[in-house]
Amino acid sequence: MTAQPANAFTRGLILISITVLFWGMLSIALSFALKVQDGVTITWFRFLVAAIVCFIYQMARGRLREYRTLKPREWAIMFVAGVLLITDYVGFVVALNYISPATNQIFNQATPLFMALGGIIFFRERLTFIQVLCFAGLIAGLMMFSNAALSEMTAEAALSGDRQNFIIGASIAVFCSFTWACYAMLQKGLGSRLSSTNIFLFIYVLAIVLLLPIVDLASFGDVKGAGWGILAFCAFNTLIAYGAFGESLRYWPATHISSVVAATPLVTIFCSYFAHRLWPETIPFPTVNTLGWFGVALTLICMVLFNMRPKAKAAKETTEAA
């Protein structure tokens, strides 16, 4: 077992909580940004800003020399991780051509499950019986939370004759969840060889190059005043959320991180509620019935119980780190 600092649990909790908070707020900002530009162009801009900031930061710290220590196999792994993350970003946008953003978010809830399975299969992470029950409770809670919205969307698709589009969009969304989980496993594996910032810098630059042919650069001429502020928030959201996520992988097992990532839709629903009160025409508030709110409570309870450490285990980690 790799020794961890005595406060590794607290650090991991703070970092992954920051990630979930910013991911939860992102869809609100994107709702405004998508009024002016397409999703691929917005994504490209987010990667561009993130790459510039990361490059300046790493160059000032003298950390760019880390790349010299990488072997061809590690470069190949980092390239595949980048392609997987870019596929997730682009796939999310493509899915929106077939299903609504709310539906897309519901099917993206498969991400924590894939991530937890990856932690168990590739990193030999073990779950206690209580954690298995809590993870099952997480899945059940998320299904309860989304039951009303998903039922309405399925009914609407059947009535409008768009059932095929619904199936295609849902399949793309689930596939994106799978690719993102695979990317997260590769990044966790590279964590001992390269800092998370340098991993993201490589991915950001790769995304800038690969997405450039399909970016609508002319659309930036239509962005005015507050629009630039929204784009800036989306860009720095990428920096903060993924930076915190990358660092959390150093302190927490993937299975634990997945249990907190599962709460992202709950953050989104609360953010949507307050945003809907301010901008009802731009930000819709999805339907959540009584069963859904019970699902919210169940998800939060299971997430907390899943990540509670027995005192004996915490004492062991502290002893190993000493």
- pLDDT tens sequence across 14-67: 999 999 999 888 878 887 888 888 888 988 999 999 999 999 999 999 989 989
Length of the chain: 322
| pLDDT tens-digit map of 114-162 | 877 777 877 777 777 887 888 788 778 877 876 766 666 666 555 555 6
Closest CA to 235 of 33, 24, 38, 43: 43
| pLDDT tens-digit map of 266-297 | 787 788 778 878 888 777 666 677 887 888 78
In angstroms, rounded to a whole number, what is the distance separating the alpha carbons of residues 178 and 245?
17
In degrees, to the nearest 5, what angle opens at C-alpha 150 toward C-alphas 145 and 154? 165
> Reduced to 3 states, what is the DSSP secondary structure of residue 234?
helix
Closest CA to 102 of 139, 156, 49, 140: 156
Mean pLDDT over all residues of the chain? 80
| pLDDT tens-digit map of 150-200 | 666 666 555 555 667 777 888 888 899 899 889 988 888 887 788 888 998
In angstroms, rounded to a whole number, what is the distance separating the alpha carbons of residues 234 and 230?
6
pLDDT for position 1 = 41
Closest CA to 285 of 147, 59, 101: 101
In angstroms, rounded to a whole number, what is the distance separating the alpha carbons of residues 265 and 259?
12
> What is the reported pTM?
0.75
In Å, how far from its chain's centre is CA 300?
A: 18
What is the pLDDT averaged over residues 215-219?
Answer: 93
